[in-house]
Amino acid sequence: MRIYLQIPASEGNPPRYCQFVLQEDLLGGWTLVKEAGRQDGGGRIKREYYVSREEAEHALIKARDAQVARGYQVVFVQGDRLAPSR
């Protein structure tokens, strides 16, 4: 599952992005990979581990909603359907 969000460029600043990817690991756990940065440069990556898919999906939805509240727009969604952002 993958969600890509972007905030438009502002005067003198390139667009910013954030991406959330949910991956199952080999031991049955789940990893939420969060990447954020500027379009013209490198981003930073953070990984969070969860025991169940439900916990991981809840964290993904919470992270997405927090970024939408900050002005980011969902550009791309791949994978399972998620609850709509508020």
User: Domain residue spans in the chain?
Assistant: 2-78
Residue 42 neighbours by CB distance under 10 Å: 8
Going from the first residue of the chain to its last (86 residues), give the mean pLDDT of each consecutive group of 10, the final group possibly shorter: 91 90 93 93 92 96 96 89 55
> Which pTM value belongs to this model?
0.84
Instruction: Please state which of the four CATH numbers 3.40.50.620, 3.90.1150.10, 3.30.110.40, 2.20.140.10 is assigned to the domain occupying 2-78.
Output: 2.20.140.10
Q: What is the pLDDT of residue 86?
A: 47
In a 3-state reduction of DSSP, which class is residue 37?
Answer: strand
Query: 56 is written with which tokens?
Result: 């991981």
